[in-house]
Amino acid sequence: MNQPPEGNFPLKTGPKDRKVRVLVAPLDWGLGHATRCIPIIRELIRQGAEPCLAASGPTARLLELEFPGLALYPLRGYEIRYARSRSGLFISMLFQIPRMLASIRQERAWLKELTAREHFDAIISDNRYGLSHARIPTVFITHQLRILSPLGKWNEALLQWMNYRYIRRFTQCWVPDHQRPPGLAGILSHPEKLPPVTLKYTGPLSRFTKSDIPEKKGHLLILLSGPEPQRSMLEDLLSKAIAHYPGTADFVRGVPGAISQIPSTNMLHFHNHLSAEALQQKMEEAEFVIARSGYSTVMDLAVLHKKSILIPTPGQTEQEYLGKFLQERKQACVFSQQEFDLTKALEAAAAADQRMDETTTGAALEHCVTTLLRSL
């Protein structure tokens, strides 16, 4: 598997008498795209740049909570919704393709208008296909260089062609995984065919750094995320199951900015959202983390070296693949949503005693950001 040769960014645009301004825009497909941009934003700040953010809805609220002093431009999301059943998800996504394509066109128009009045030296887009630019260096972030399809390899080849058609419009593509395969994402981030653009592996992107916070025996963390209605469906399932759990638990609903609150008890604490610092503490305290098998969650679990019980979103091929991949590598216990039973899952996880392989972050991302900023 050959990687494209190292490439350069376009001509330098940033004057030396001011901070380099970098627009960072994560996709609104759940909160994972925003959370994995947090270490990038922190690294930009650490290296003296001025990040500016673009988002809306829960993604914007999360970024505002983490970076209250940064400029945030409203950018409408793709507003993807999942189906209520596994069989209906693929059909639902097909019907939403015209809206996704319209969103990409709107992004282009939005960026053209914004760059006409605001000066940015570079743009970092996490899975927003419409934010390439002819005169400004642009980076596209994705861990899905290969997009899996229930229709088989012929459809995957078409999806990859379409994916690379957009990616090649960017100056570089950053992949949040280890450069050495299989990494954390397996064939998703290490396909046989790579995009025709300079490719860099940033290493896993997590807002967390492992500390010495001790685990509490029997304590659980339930961590929800992802598009509706599946987020709410899993919340209903797990809130009923956890009510009968004899131990302690934290339940993070994944709805930053929500007004409604679920009452807590002495044994069970509900949170609409937690800051990165507070969430890391809860994750490290938990003996088991129960969550979706989304890739951003996988990266967080790996950095914190946690035991986990993962429940892939029904019909979401990426999460189903990641769940199977991690289970085969004995790094997580994975259960289907339809057949999930909390008691049986905890018994199986305790017997398996499997943790994510511990991983480190930082050096590869630092290099990617340094290379970008030095080119401006």
- What is the dotted CATH code of the domain comprising 220-352? 3.40.50.2000
Structure token pair of residue 16? 């030396």
pLDDT on residue 82? 67
Q: Please count the other Cβ atoms lying within 10 Å of the Cβ belonging to residue 12.
A: 12
pLDDT on residue 95? 66
Record the pTM: 0.90
Q: How confident is the model at residue 83 (pLDDT cuts 50, 70, 90)?
A: low
The reply to whether domains 21-205+361-374 and 220-352 share a CATH topology is yes
Torsional sign, CA 225, 184, 348, 218: negative
pLDDT on residue 12? 46
Biggest CA–CA distance in the chain, Å, is 62
- What are the boundaries of each domain within the chain? 21-205+361-374, 220-352
Torsional sign, CA 33, 36, 42, 47: negative
What homologous superfamily does CATH list for 21-205+361-374? Glycogen Phosphorylase B; (3.40.50.2000)
Average pLDDT value over all residues in the chain: 91
- Distance CA(44)–CA(37), nearest Å, equals 11
Position 281 pLDDT exceeds 60: yes
Q: Which amino acid is at 187?
A: I
pLDDT on residue 16? 55
Burial class (CB in 10 A: 0-12, 13-18, 19+), 269: middle
pLDDT on residue 14? 46
